[in-house]
Structure 1
Amino acid sequence: MHEPRSIVAGYDGSEEAAAAIRWAAQQARLRSLRLHVVHVSIWPLLTRKLGPVPGVADSGLERSAEAILEEGVNCARTCAPEVDVEGTLLHGLPAPHLARISSGEEMLVVGSRGLGGFLGLLVGAVSLELAATADCPVAVIRSDVHPGGPVVVAIDVSGSRNALADACAMAATLQANLRVIHVRHTPPGYRQPDRQESVAARIAAEEVISAAVRRARSLAPGVPVDGRVLTDTSVPHAILKASVEARMLVVGSKGHGFFRETIGSTAHAVLHHARGPVLISRHGNSSLDSEEQFDDTRL
């Protein structure tokens, strides 16, 4: 018998990470799951002097790391007292540890960026790396949320089955509407498609949306679902514009085989420019997301 999956949340002491912890705690409460708060200290990579300062109680880099973890755990317990919260302190590079510990879990939650200065850049890079390497969905949380907005999911020509399923689960959990979007990419240039070609492309796009909406309604019967076909010379631009007031934006992540540890240009742009939380739909090698089999321009 398998143990129930948990939600894993990375915490580094920053305001963005605190927002991620609070969001993760609420998700754990709504889904009746455990929450695992993880802090990864990079100090052992930089110095061996981790112990307390002689004569100064409760000091030292190791104690500082322990305090950060305790702060994250306490933040989660305060936000959702009924949730079973555990904490783990690890040492080394954050991304590999977080990817390993969250493998096969319900979700990995991180802040959009971390502590200021050099460490802030490092943590931001960690979020981006996890979006390309984790084996479970990765939620990148920003504090600018729209609590009354819909969950928006971008699908490609395949229907993006895993991303759609993740979006259905998120909409049901949040009791939010679900909006399914598909972007017809029209490369800029002098040649415009003739009318017959344009109509055929439009019909094909509408069929993609119709099939996705039908599947979403079967996966989440109580969730109001609508679908939209968008046309733009930039896929990320269309997605970002359509999700300005989204409560959560769900997209897939490209990359498999030798190139699995990459992130597509669409997901990359969305992570950098979306105003609200983004869920990158990632799953293990045995269940590659359908977006990973198509180029971004076909979204």
Structure 2
Amino acid sequence: MTETRTIVVGYDGSEEAKRAVQWAARHAVLRGCSLQIVHCSLWVLLSHNRGPVPGVADSGLERAAQKVLEEGLALAKETVPDLEVRTTLLHGMPRDHLAHVSVGAVMLVLGSRGLGGFMGLLVGSVSLEMAATAECPVAVIRSDDHPEGRVLLAIDDSGSPAALEDACLFAAATGAELMIVHVLHEPDGYRRLREPVEAYPDAEALLDSVLSQARHKAPGITVAGELLVDASFSRAVVKASQGARLTVVGTKGHGLIKGTIGSTAHAVLHHAHSPVLVSRRKAEPT
């Protein structure tokens, strides 16, 4: 018996979460996956009396949480009517449940609910923590302004094999062009102090190798590559994300408190002009 592959999406009723459900539903049907909508109710932290109000139909805190989940279900069905969707209502903090629920999932999709305007940081703490600790790829949806754009993959010196895999799967499912970029760090003022470097043989060889792998993994998909030179890795990736339908990045995934995703992925999550997929994998035992 073949186990159904699942995309998990968190839903809390916010506008950001609505976009996440719609994005997840559209992608689930392209990948041949079912969709699991998860709502984590916080009422258990605030009150022990969550039952209906006597004499008031369809009332109570528990019913209010169920209504949020029903709203998410209706939104997914409206987006993709024939999609297989199931719902899960949990009680407590989302960060305590989402990583566990998404184990074995194809992807965890979250809205980028944040305070916004505070030093330009637009991604909420739950999305950041899941991007650093989940055991599956994590997509964070802040905007989806270019649904017909290309897929952008940013690779590091390792070639970012997990991110390459995810980017190829997404490009193959959508038929989108895949653009692969590798950023070379060059400090501000470097070109004024030294002769400009016109060739980067090691970086060019790496990019050529990744391009070859991508064409093998996603045959029939247009694949292109570009070396970018910038004093800031994240700035170069954010700039390249303009017009993209998805930006895919890898993650270091090494612990600081509960995990970190690396400064580049962190900055891209906050500032990219497209949904961002952080290519996480289940941690290997040490």
What TM-score results when the alignment is normalised by the length of structure 1?
0.87
1:96 Cα offset (Å)? 2.4
Give unmatched runs, 5+ long, in structure 2. Answer: none
- 1:10-60: CA deviations, max 9, x gaps? 100111111111111111111111111100011111222322223222112
Amino acid at match of 2:202: A
Q: In the alignment, is the contact (CA less than 8 A) between 2:269 and 2:276 conserved in 1?
A: yes
Amino acid at match of 2:182: H
- Aligned match of 1:159: 159
User: More deviation in 73-82 or 127-136?
Assistant: 73-82
Give unmatched runs, 5+ long, in structure 1. Answer: 289-299
Given the alignment of the two structures, is residue 101 of structure 1 paired with residue 87 of structure 2, yes or no?
Answer: no
Root mean square deviation, CA, Å = 2.5
Pairing of 1:117-136 with structure 2 (within 5 A): 124-136=124-136
1:61 Cα offset (Å)? 1.3
Amino acid at match of 2:91: H
- Aligned match of 2:77: 77
Amino acid at match of 1:250: V
Q: In the alignment, is the contact (CA less than 8 A) between 2:129 and 2:258 conserved in 1?
A: no
- Aligned match of 1:225: 223
Return the alpha-carbon distance in structure 1 between the equivalents of residues 239 and 221 of structure 2.
23
Q: In the alignment, is the contact (CA less than 8 A) between 2:254 and 2:261 conserved in 1?
A: no
Return the alpha-carbon distance in structure 2 between the equivalents of residues 188 and 99 of structure 1.
39
- Aligned match of 2:247: 249
Q: In the alignment, is the contact (CA less than 8 A) between 1:137 and 1:281 conserved in 2?
A: yes
1:163 Cα offset (Å)? 0.2
Q: In the alignment, is the contact (CA less than 8 A) between 1:108 and 1:139 conserved in 2?
A: yes
Return the alpha-carbon distance in structure 2 between the equivalents of residues 186 and 234 of structure 1.
8
- Aligned match of 2:142: 142
- Aligned match of 1:175: 175
Decide which of 234, 238, 241 is 1:240's aligned counterpart.
Answer: 238
- Aligned match of 1:14: 14
Structure number with higher helix proportion? 1
- Aligned match of 2:47: 47
1:256 Cα offset (Å)? 3.0
Q: In the alignment, is the contact (CA less than 8 A) between 2:247 and 2:276 conserved in 1?
A: yes
What TM-score results when the alignment is normalised by the length of structure 2?
0.91
- Aligned match of 1:292: none
1:185 Cα offset (Å)? 0.9
**Aligned length, in residue pairs:** 282
- Aligned match of 1:23: 23
Q: Tell me: CA distance 1:255–1:210, structure 2 relative to 1, closer, same or farther (3 Å).
A: same
- Aligned match of 2:270: 272
1:199 Cα offset (Å)? 5.4
Q: In the alignment, is the contact (CA less than 8 A) between 2:252 and 2:262 conserved in 1?
A: yes
